[in-house]
Structure formats: C-alpha cells, structure tokens
Amino acid sequence: MSIEPIVMPKWGLAMQEGTLSKWNVAEGDRVAKGQEIADIETTKIANAFESPVEGVVRRRVIAEGDIVPVGALLAVVADPGVGDAEIDDFVEEFQRTMAVAADDSVAAPEPQLVDTAAGRIRYLKLGEGGGTPVVLIHGFGSDHAAWMFNHEALATGRPVYALDLPGHGGSTKVVGGGSVEDLAAAVVAFLDAAEVGRAHLVGHSLGGAIAATIAARHPGRAASLSLIAPAGIAEEINQAFIDGFVSETRARKLRGVIELIVADPAMVTADMVEDVLKFKRLDGAAEALAQVAAANFAAGRQVTSIREVLAGAGVPVQVIVGVEDRVLPPAGADDLPAAVAVHRVAGAGHLPHMEKSAEVNRLIEAVVAG
C-alpha cells in the first residue's frame, strides 16, 4: 500500500518558503487530485494549493500559520489500511531525507538577456529535450514571473521560454508604436535571436492577441495557440483597470486596481503591489506602459480583433477564460469559430493560469503533447 507525501510547493523560482494559512481538509478526508486542500501565502502571492495526489489524508504534519521551506512535508496521504506506525516511520524518514537534500540544493536558473532586432529582451528558459519549444507571452503590465505556476510544469521533455515583452520587466523600454503588431514583431525577433523556429505559443490577455498575430503574420512559427483570457475576442475592456494600472502611484489605490484581475482579492499581497510600483519607477517604464495602453485600448474598447485570425489559424487553437473575469468579458468566447476549443474556468477571474493553475496546465499540456 502506497504512502504519498504532500509538500510545500515552489511557486516561482524565487520562492523559498510559504505560510500554510488554512487547511481546507481534515485528517480522514478523502481528497481528489487537483482538489483545493489548503491556502498558502508567500511574500509574492496567496493562492489555493491543489492536491497533487488522491487518497485519504492520514496525517497533517504542518499546523495553520506555520511557515516552512519549499519541499517541507505538509501532509501524508495513504490508504486506510496503512497502519499508524507506518505513517510515523514515513514522516520521520521524509524529514531526515529532506534535511540532507537541503544541504545538496543547487541554485535556481536565472533570467537571461539577449540582444534582438527589437532591442534587449529578458527571458527565462526552463527544460530541455527534443520536444517542440513552448513560448509564454504575458499580458499588459506583467512580466515572465506571471507564469510562476505554469513554467516548470510545462518544461518536461521540451524547452519552455518565458519572456518580458518590450516595455515590461527587464526588457527594453522602447516599444515603437506599442501596438499588437509591434509587440508581435518583437517576439518574433526574440525567437530569431534565441534560435527558436517553431513553437507552441501560450499567451495571456494582450499576450494572447500577440500570439495570434504571430500565427497570422508568420505562418509556420506557431505549432499551436493556447490563449488565456485573450485580448481581441471581444470589443469591450475594463478601461478603469487600464487607466488605473498606468496612472496610480499609491499602494492603496493601486491595490484596488490589481484586485480587479482576480476572483478572490485575498490573492493580492502587499508585496505584489509593491513589485508593480517598483517596476513603474524604472526609467522609461511608465512611459512605455502608457504608450502600449494608448495603442491598444481606448474609451473601453480594444483596437485589435483576432477573430478572423482564429478562424484561419491552421493550427490547434484553444481559448481559456475565467468565468469571473472583470477585465475582459468572458462572454467574448461564446461565439468563436467552431474550430476553436473553448474552456471556461470556474472560480477564476482574469488570471486563470494563476488562480486555477493545475486545470490550465492540463489544458495546455494536452494541446502541446498532442
């Protein structure tokens, strides 16, 4: 009879520890794989933790409020027939093995910089192997860290690249006109510089419109499209979010703006807000954001439509939307072309890849592996 450990997850390469703020299951409960079993808070984000295994929770090792390192044993799942003594031995051995592993830990990979025809681009590459690469394209006002729940999960048997778009993160703050076309050209320039020929493109929000534009303008570069809450499938947009994100410089006001992108405002931490403010203070960052916003969104309307692109993409296309999205209307996915697979994620807002990462990762992996 097997005994399965549940450990503190690693959400993003910078995460070292987390706080188990709440258990959502008790000892003796049977849990399913993907079930939300606990709430975990880090310095960057708070989110529900989904069980990686199924079975009966035989032991909760960590109490609510405990702060433990990544990889620490949180709970033990096993069949009812496994004796308590066996559970005790398993916990003791796990703790001893973990202590040895901590001493042998290696440094996490760091983002790199590459010079491209569009300027210097920062990116993070994870994974190796002969599988077709995956390229993750974030949305407006974000950076490569937006894929902290997805990047490593997808990097099995293939390289996965997450880049900072021009005007964002550690990339050049020169955005040209700032349009979807300009940003798509910059991503293609990155692919050329990184020697990535054909890739599965995964785009969120504005990044979804960019991915679709690459597929249309550069046939053969996209192996598939996984578009998460993509811009360009509906005409409307929450202009208050765009304007507030660009203009707010006070943490309290900015927090209210950022809370619009998630179904549960508790997911937004003070450090998340401060990270956005720090970015906006970088030379050229605020001006770049304003330029991108002006080129793509005006008076509550989106400039770009990708509907015709999706109809004739010629590659597998899926659109994933959060049912509770308050930035882009999820109803925009109601009447997409028949060839587009549409998935609606319950309990998620504009960030389903973060709010319901396990579900979204399964959807992306199904297309990428297929």
Please list, in sequence order, all residues whose beta carbon lies within 8 angstroms of the beta carbon of residue 103, skipping any fewer than 6 positions away.
none
Q: Residue 47 has which token pair?
A: 């989110």
Q: Residue 297 has which token pair?
A: 């969104």
Q: How many CA atoms lie within 13 A of 194 on its CB side?
A: 28
Does the domain spanning 3-103 belong to CATH 2.40.50.100?
A: yes
Between CA 351 and CA 346 the distance in angstroms is: 12
- Which residue spans of the chain are classified as CATH 3.40.50.1820? 112-369
Instruction: Identify the weakest region by mean pLDDT among 6-20, 156-170, 199-213.
Output: 6-20
The overall longest dimension of the chain from CA atoms, in Å, is 66
Per-residue pLDDT tens over the stretch 21-64: 999 999 999 999 889 999 999 887 888 899 999 999 999 999 99
- Which residue spans of the chain are classified as CATH 2.40.50.100? 3-103
Domain 112-369: which CATH class?
A: alpha beta
Across the range 217-238, mean pLDDT stands at: 96
- 97: pLDDT confidence band, cut at 50, 70 and 90? confident
Per-residue pLDDT tens over the stretch 343-368: 999 999 999 999 999 899 999 999 99
Beta strands in 245-316 (DSSP E): 297-298, 301-302
Between CA 103 and CA 362 the distance in angstroms is: 33
Across the range 306-327, mean pLDDT stands at: 95
Environment class of residue 65 by beta-carbon count within 10 Å: exposed (0-12), middle (13-18) or buried (19+)? exposed
- 101: pLDDT confidence band, cut at 50, 70 and 90? low
pTM of the model: 0.88
Please list, in sequence order, all residues whose beta carbon lies within 8 angstroms of the beta carbon of residue 58, skipping any fewer than 6 positions away.
3, 27, 28, 76, 77, 78, 82, 87
